[in-house]
Amino acid sequence: MKKSIFLLSLVFVSIVCGNAEQKLNPQEIVCKYCVESTVDHIFFAPEDGAIYKGLIRGLIQMAGPESKIYVAAFRFTDKDICNDLIIAHQRGVAIEAVFDPGAVTAAFYSGVFSLCEAGIPVYQYIPVSLKPAALRRRTFSKGAYPTIMHQKTVIFENTFGRRNFVVFGSLNFTTAGFYGNEEAVQVRNSPQVIAAFLEHFELLKKRSYIVSLAKTAEQPSLTGIPYIILNVFRRITKK
Supply the pLDDT for residue 235.
47
| pLDDT of residue 59 exceeding 70 | yes
CA distance 149 to 207: 10
| pLDDT of residue 9 exceeding 60 | no
- Domain-wise residue ranges, the chain: 23-234
Instruction: Give CATH for domain 23-234.
Output: 3.30.870.10
Q: Of the ranges 31-35, 41-45, 224-228, which one carries the lowest mean pLDDT score?
A: 224-228
| pLDDT of residue 159 exceeding 90 | yes
CA distance 195 to 218: 33
**Are 91 and 118 within 8 A, CB to CB?**
no
Give the highest mean pLDDT range of 3-7, 173-177, 219-223: 173-177
**Are 57 and 78 within 8 A, CB to CB?**
no
Residue 63 CB partners (closer than 8 Å, separation 6+): 69, 88, 93, 156, 158, 159
Identify the residue with better confidence: 198 or 139: 198
In this prediction, residues 226-237 reach a mean pLDDT of: 46
CA distance 73 to 94: 17
In this prediction, residues 180-196 reach a mean pLDDT of: 97
The upper half-sphere exposure of residue 17, i.e. CA atoms within 13 Å in the direction of its Cβ, equals: 22
